[in-house]
Structure 1
Amino acid sequence: MAFSAVARALCLAVAFASTLSQGHPTSPKLVHERRDVVHGDWVKGARADAKTPLTLRIGLKQRNLERAEEFMNAVSHPRSETYGKFWSAQQVVDMFAPSDDAIAETKAWLLSEGVTADRISHSAGRNWIKVSSTVGEAETLLDAVYSVYENEDGAVLVACESYSLPTNVRGFVDLVTPTIQLEEREAVTRRSVVEKRDSFPPGFKKLPPWAHHPKPGADSLKNCSEVTTPACLRALYDIPPKGSAVKGNSYGIVEFAPQSYNQEDLNGFFSVYTNGNKVPNNTAPIFNGIDGGYLSPEGGSGVRGESNLDLCYAMALTYPQNVTLYQVGDSVAWNPATNNNFLDAIDGSYCSFQGGDDPVWDAVYPHDASTPGAYTGQPQCGVYNATKVISVSYGSNEGARPASYRARECAEYLKLGLMGVTVMFSSGDTGVAGLRGQCVKPDGSYTPVAADYGQFNPMFPGSCPWVTSVGGSALPAGGRVNDREVASYNFPTGGGFSNLFNLPSYQNSAVKSYYAHHNPGYNASVYNNTQKARGFPDVALNSQNYVTGIDGGFQLFSGTSASSPTFGAMITLINGERLKIGKGPVGFINPVLYAHPEVFTDITEGHNSGCGTQGFAAVKGWDPVTGLGAPNYEKLKKVFLALP
């Protein structure tokens, strides 16, 4: 394929802006961002042809984000007089929309550089300005030099090593695409860890297909340290044996294609493991398909595992409350959907012109119809309402994207919290290392997979201060349900400190106490030890050996991707109890959690190894392994029911 055709199809990259300057459209230009490292396997080739069509997208800086904590504390802190008085979607748009000056100054600069007005447009949400351009014109606009980059998979893009913006425009701009970023596409999702064995632990056999198997003692608590079931989780965390369908309550699970649930697998799981809270045959989630909503026809744990796991437990623990499945993306593997594509669908003002916020990594629609299962429609912006609780079991290395990209996505979770939505993410399954066990070299690039050296590599979005990060715990080997849990040991649970986000006020006391009483033993060359960084996870729940329906049988899964939907189920049940007495949902829960550590069972054993170290240790009080500890449903419910 000719490079010009690839460029027209991809329109790739992103830029970062952060400082405010004054002046007029002829102001001098300053280097805005420079790339010193090429992540992944990209190889720089020849200079890009100046005539190559290129679409520049300029993401404008949102207003009032410096007041994020003030706004969030007002609706979420338990001592706030306005607790629970959540914002409307329009209030959020009005508060954070870019200013008229941002639009005017940016357009004036473009016009002064010779860009004609008919080639400039901006999105309905006012966040994005689009310029139909060429590589040559972009080089002039940005004082940049574009080259062709290619990776071993044959993907091709154009990018530059640095670029500049006028001093009077820089303060109004958040992102520009395409510019300096290069990264692997496939490192977007993290799947749960599958137990690599053909049979279950001693005393528990792998079950044959549903139709031929009598129901075992699904309510048994004798084997919970080796096999986790809904009954085990109810006993561990004092979760009620049965939920209730409450008008206005809702719970959403997010999955990204090709991960796809299978109804027959759910039926089999429910028939065996929901004796105490029987889920009827063919009970399905509410299906909200986004940008294709592709459900792969393939089987196996690699495709079915994550989605089946999440839905088996989200539905079993909350039934008869409905659970919504946000199924995101289509079958096009080279351009997979991301969290931003999901966020577009529940907030139309967040969308750029082609969906997503960055065409380097976010899927750009429509896709070519020649690929079976490709989504050929336009990106779906604001087509669904957000459920009251959202659990996501996917993440990526915090440093794999530029700070501007991370900040923009993180701010969207802030907005959801302001509107009364609880968002939680799995903390990760590779300890203090990142995806596939990769750590960070001194130059900012990544170590080889599962390397035993390098700087700690925190996971995002768990490191965002506006989500609840859920880590992994486990019963001790051979333990019983009334034993105190330890940090997960089938895998090292994700945790640590952000390299991008500051310590939020709700966490200040807990982190200060952690450092006052415990010395992690590492210097600044190993992790962000400033004591001013967001720490994660916030809580931890059992994350090992979840029995899950797969291909007409069962498999055991371990990972924090099991912990997050379980905690989401608990918060959904609490929302139902509040709605019954005329109160609203709990929204962003972290300020309440940190104000009430007594509702947690502290976890003080275990660690989260990685990067050639033992990682951090679980200690008394909050720690970057298991957070505040394991929640008790009844205690947590009592706290939330007492709030306005």
Structure 2
Amino acid sequence: MKISLIVLNGLLAGAIAVPTGSQVVHEKRDTDNARWIKREAVDPNTKVPVRIALKQSNLDKGMDYLLDVSHPESSNYGNHYTADQVVDLFAPSDESINSVKSWLVKSGVPASSITASKSKGWLSFTTTSGQLESLLHTSFSTYDHVDARNVHIGTDEYSLPKEISQHVDFITPGVVFAPVKTSAKKEKRGHKSIRRASKPLPAHIAQILAANPRATSTCGSAITPQCIKSMYNITAGTSAISSNALGVFEVEDTYAQQDLTQFWKSFATNIPSTTGPKVDGIDGAKAPTSPINAGGESDLDFEIAIPIIYPQTTVLYQSSVKNDDIFNTFLDAIDGSYCTFSDDGETGDDPTVDGTTRNEQCGAFKPTNVISFSYGTAEADYPTYYLQVCAPCKFTCQKEFFFFFF
């Protein structure tokens, strides 16, 4: 997407004509994040997709909306909201949308290049790094994440006109880093997983647990299913509903049934030795695997989850991702529309970033009501404003639950 600019009297090429006015610092990074390594300044000609998150309405009422349809004593119990109803409840005001659009146009961003999301909560356009620096009164640098394989850009702080700041939650790229396309050769992501135990339990702990797997005196040194139940006051389950299995997402790291079998025999004797998840292998991903090839993280997820909910069952959404975005193939598999989704200048699958997937499955599996993810970035890596992106009440109001554990 090209933005035409008129450069007069030797003015810096690519500068946006930003209206003068009272500027306020909108976001500022308070501390350095050791997991992001700051590199060089961004080339001012680098194309940058910009997304502006507008302040939404009624987020403070989200819990009330949720309880209205989920509390057994409510007259609306079970009447969950549709996606369109959720959009209407939380959409930014027309004043916010129009004010920010007007500011962008006055600043030199072509009106035709600005797109609004279906949720009405985002405005998007593409510009250059140099133009965005002028718009936000800041400078951008490149950053590498210690576990990532692609380049991100961001800044330590940026400013907005005072009258515009009140309508904006945050902007990416900004304090929240955003990936950019570069010609640099991509390196394989260094997914960190839990290493398989190389040492046995200390003899005195092993003796206690061998005599009584339900012992809690060892919880300070060795966490067992009984430790989790005791710490969180979880009572034993008595029934299983076939339509209410717990979904668990795993990528690359794969569990071994032999590991689970041994664990049940040692620490959860009420669970049959062959118990494991139903496997929904995404795009041909396979599970389980042999103990020597198993991943400690996947084993651990089921060794904790199954004893908590047993006899309720589990479903494994197994992925073997090879691209930048680890969740894209999962979203394709549970929602066929995501394969061809396009909105707000964004697409569900972008071959230039995400690559292409052989035997891509679109809508092949039904999502469970609750899905657990043990992948992501720590909450401390994001500013408070970013909470609005995944306000839990929006999902639960539609009877969908996603839990992320970091």
Q: Which TM-score bucket, shorter chain as reference?
A: 0.5 to 0.7
Match of 2:5 in 1: none
Equivalent residues in 2 for 1:466-485, closer than 5 Å: none
Using the TM superposition, give the Cα deviation of residue 143 of structure 1 relative to its aligned residue in structure 2, in angstroms: 2.1
Match of 2:45 in 1: 51
Match of 1:171 in 2: 166
**Distance in 2 (alpha carbons) for counterparts of 1:384 and 1:100:** 38
Amino acid across the alignment from 1:414:
C
Match of 2:212 in 1: 222
Contact 2:213 2:267 in 1 (8 A): no
Equivalent residues in 2 for 1:179-190, closer than 5 Å: 179-181=174-176
Equivalent residues in 2 for 1:303-322, closer than 5 Å: 304-312=295-303, 314-315=305-306, 321-322=312-313
- Per-residue CA deviations over 1:286-330 (Å, capped at 9, x if unaligned) read 5274xx796699977996222223235545665675422344672
Using the TM superposition, give the Cα deviation of residue 74 of structure 1 relative to its aligned residue in structure 2, in angstroms: 3.6
Contact 1:259 1:295 in 2 (8 A): no
Using the TM superposition, give the Cα deviation of residue 131 of structure 1 relative to its aligned residue in structure 2, in angstroms: 0.9
Matched, 1:87 2:80: yes
**Distance in 2 (alpha carbons) for counterparts of 1:343 and 1:59:** 25
Using the TM superposition, give the Cα deviation of residue 178 of structure 1 relative to its aligned residue in structure 2, in angstroms: 1.0
**Distance in 2 (alpha carbons) for counterparts of 1:391 and 1:149:** 29
Q: 1:161 aligns with which of 139, 156, 159?
A: 156
Contact 1:190 1:396 in 2 (8 A): no
Using the TM superposition, give the Cα deviation of residue 96 of structure 1 relative to its aligned residue in structure 2, in angstroms: 1.3
Unaligned runs of 5+ in 1: 1-24, 206-219, 357-362, 427-459, 461-644
Match of 1:68 in 2: 62
Match of 1:331 in 2: 322
Contact 2:115 2:344 in 1 (8 A): no
Using the TM superposition, give the Cα deviation of residue 354 of structure 1 relative to its aligned residue in structure 2, in angstroms: 4.6
**Distance in 2 (alpha carbons) for counterparts of 1:368 and 1:26:** 40
Q: 1:198 aligns with which of 197, 200, 206?
A: 200
Contact 2:154 2:173 in 1 (8 A): yes
Q: 1:287 aligns with which of 275, 280, 290?
A: 280
CA 147–191 in structure 1, closer or farther in 2 if over 3 Å, else same: closer
Amino acid across the alignment from 2:110:
T
Using the TM superposition, give the Cα deviation of residue 116 of structure 1 relative to its aligned residue in structure 2, in angstroms: 1.9
Contact 2:278 2:315 in 1 (8 A): yes
Matched, 1:117 2:111: yes
**Distance in 2 (alpha carbons) for counterparts of 1:38 and 1:229:** 36
Q: 1:404 aligns with which of 368, 385, 401?
A: 385
Using the TM superposition, give the Cα deviation of residue 135 of structure 1 relative to its aligned residue in structure 2, in angstroms: 1.2
CA 249–279 in structure 1, closer or farther in 2 if over 3 Å, else same: farther
Match of 1:243 in 2: 239
**Distance in 1 (alpha carbons) for counterparts of 2:204 and 2:105:** 73
**Distance in 2 (alpha carbons) for counterparts of 1:101 and 1:343:** 35
Equivalent residues in 2 for 1:513-552, closer than 5 Å: none
**Distance in 2 (alpha carbons) for counterparts of 1:26 and 1:383:** 53
Match of 2:16 in 1: none
What TM-score, normalized to structure 2? 0.66
**Distance in 1 (alpha carbons) for counterparts of 2:228 and 2:141:** 54
- Per-residue CA deviations over 1:27-85 (Å, capped at 9, x if unaligned) read 6443212335432252353x43322211111122221112234334444567x544744
**Distance in 2 (alpha carbons) for counterparts of 1:99 and 1:321:** 43
Contact 2:325 2:354 in 1 (8 A): no
Amino acid across the alignment from 2:212:
K
**Distance in 1 (alpha carbons) for counterparts of 2:166 and 2:137:** 18
CA 89–322 in structure 1, closer or farther in 2 if over 3 Å, else same: farther
- Per-residue CA deviations over 1:553-573 (Å, capped at 9, x if unaligned) read xxxxxxxxxxxxxxxxxxxxx
SS of structure 2 residue aligned to 1:223: coil
Match of 2:25 in 1: 31
**Distance in 2 (alpha carbons) for counterparts of 1:264 and 1:295:** 16
**Distance in 2 (alpha carbons) for counterparts of 1:344 and 1:108:** 39
Count of residue pairs brought into register by the alignment: 365
Q: Cα RMSD between the aligned structures?
A: 5.2
**Distance in 2 (alpha carbons) for counterparts of 1:136 and 1:399:** 28
SS of structure 2 residue aligned to 1:158: strand
CA 312–170 in structure 1, closer or farther in 2 if over 3 Å, else same: same
Match of 1:594 in 2: none
Contact 1:149 1:159 in 2 (8 A): yes
Amino acid across the alignment from 1:54:
V
Amino acid across the alignment from 1:416:
F
SS of structure 2 residue aligned to 1:51: coil
Using the TM superposition, give the Cα deviation of residue 203 of structure 1 relative to its aligned residue in structure 2, in angstroms: 9.3
**Distance in 1 (alpha carbons) for counterparts of 2:281 and 2:153:** 35
Matched, 1:97 2:91: yes
Name whichever of 126-135 and 100-109 sits farther off: 100-109
Q: 1:135 aligns with which of 129, 137, 145?
A: 129
**Distance in 2 (alpha carbons) for counterparts of 1:228 and 1:421:** 30
* Identity across the alignment (%): 27
Using the TM superposition, give the Cα deviation of residue 174 of structure 1 relative to its aligned residue in structure 2, in angstroms: 2.1
Contact 2:142 2:151 in 1 (8 A): yes
CA 237–64 in structure 1, closer or farther in 2 if over 3 Å, else same: closer
Q: 1:415 aligns with which of 394, 398, 401?
A: 394
SS of structure 1 residue aligned to 2:158: strand
SS of structure 1 residue aligned to 2:244: coil
Amino acid across the alignment from 1:403:
T
Amino acid across the alignment from 2:280:
F
Contact 2:37 2:146 in 1 (8 A): yes
Using the TM superposition, give the Cα deviation of residue 264 of structure 1 relative to its aligned residue in structure 2, in angstroms: 5.8
Using the TM superposition, give the Cα deviation of residue 115 of structure 1 relative to its aligned residue in structure 2, in angstroms: 1.7
**Distance in 1 (alpha carbons) for counterparts of 2:254 and 2:108:** 49
Using the TM superposition, give the Cα deviation of residue 417 of structure 1 relative to its aligned residue in structure 2, in angstroms: 3.1
Match of 1:605 in 2: none
Using the TM superposition, give the Cα deviation of residue 390 of structure 1 relative to its aligned residue in structure 2, in angstroms: 3.7
Amino acid across the alignment from 1:239:
A
SS of structure 2 residue aligned to 1:404: helix
Using the TM superposition, give the Cα deviation of residue 344 of structure 1 relative to its aligned residue in structure 2, in angstroms: 12
**Distance in 2 (alpha carbons) for counterparts of 1:345 and 1:74:** 27
**Distance in 2 (alpha carbons) for counterparts of 1:402 and 1:379:** 35
Using the TM superposition, give the Cα deviation of residue 395 of structure 1 relative to its aligned residue in structure 2, in angstroms: 6.5
